[in-house]
Amino acid sequence: TPGEQHGLGLLMAECHFALESCVRFVLGTSTPIADIVLAARQLRIDVLALSFSAYASRRDVLENLRQLLDQLPDGTEVWVGGAAASAYSRALPEGVVLMRRPGEVSQQVDAWRQRQTGPV
């Protein structure tokens, strides 16, 4: 999101998504909200993964998430991680999935796949 300059969390999450054979599109750090939304629409993404470092303010985290949730296509899930996301976990908007460790990506991907295919 805008102002977020730390990409290590994104790189770690991307590695876990790769291990789960997920198709990934990396927008990098400090990406404007409008660009994120446009990419989500054009690429028809299922999950938007964001990382908020300890340097992100509570206001920025929550405002950016609300803007994204208001503008993303229906059905697009938002998964967040990073120190700021964890610190403000109680205030995260409804529907945002918090991952406290990059290793939780695998569990979330499995759960997402189960929701898409239904019970076997």
pLDDT band for position 10 (50/70/90)?
confident
Residue pair 80/50 in contact (Cβ under 8 Å)? The answer is yes
**Backbone phi, then psi, for 6, in 5-degree steps?**
-95, 120
| Amino acid 103: pLDDT | 81
Q: What is the pLDDT of residues 28-78, one digit of tens each?
A: 999 999 999 999 999 999 999 999 999 999 999 999 999 999 999 999 999
Q: At what angle do helices 33-43 and 58-71 cross, to 10 degrees?
A: 40
One-letter amino acid for residue 82 of the chain: G
Rounded CA-CA distance 120/61 in Å is 37
pLDDT band for position 120 (50/70/90)?
low
